[in-house]
Amino acid sequence: MRGGIRDSPVKRELLKQLRRKDVVSGDEIAQRMGISRVAVWKHIKELNMLGYEILSTPKGYALIREAHKPYPWELDFEVYYFKEVWSTMDIAKELAKEGKENVFIIAEKQKGGRGRLGRNWVSQEGGLYFSLVVRPKIPLKDVDKLVFPISSAIVEVLDEYGISAKMAPNGDIFVGNKKLAGILIEAEGEIDLVKYAIIGVGVNVNNLVPEDATSLKRELGKEINLLEFARVLFLRINHHLLKAIF
């Protein structure tokens, strides 16, 4: 997918090596991974550009700061990650038509993020915006039933963060009377069977929100590790979907 960041086994292993010790020599990394030192350097450079801080010292490389972003190599699911897109729903639809399933499309920002009834979903950096392609064996008329397991997963994870949230009938998540997350479902198929469904989710995490909305950061008064939040939420969503329909 053009412009998207895909999983990288090399980056997974490279970060694993850097997290093992304070300093790791380029020779040791290259030998363990079976690649050249030049290749190691190129991946280090790319990771620095993506928000990690990896210093080159006389003794080797040192991971000084994590990016804390849900990049594909940080998650145990198939993921496409984008810095900015018009809408993750559009990309998910392309992938669904190619036969993909159980794949997450994540964007740092969306220029045309959308909610229910064609409403605009403001998607500034700091939130968690993603679409998930699934192929449930259910009739097309039952596709809205996918909302409940997703909303339940979000409410449960928020509770673990100490936030008491409620689920609206349409699946939107509120804290008090302020919206924190929204869900959109689009599907294709025949009357008796869904061909594919795309579940779009927007969660206000660290992003700025209007006064009539809220975020995890606003509720808790501190910055949230977006990667850790995504890890927990994706696992919970996968669990609820499997339990509910698959």
SS (H, E, C) 146-204: HHHHHHHHHHHHHHHCCCCCEECCCCCEEECCEEEEEEEEEEEEECCEEEEEEEEEEEC
Q: pLDDT means per 10 residues in the chain (246 residues)?
A: 85 96 93 94 97 96 98 97 94 95 95 61 86 94 93 97 96 96 94 94 96 96 98 97 75
Contact 160, 175 (CB under 8 A): no
The 10s digit of each residue's pLDDT in 107-120 is 999 886 655 555 66
Q: What is the pTM of this model?
A: 0.92
Domains in the chain and their CATH numbers? 9-65 (1.10.10.10), 72-244 (3.30.930.10)
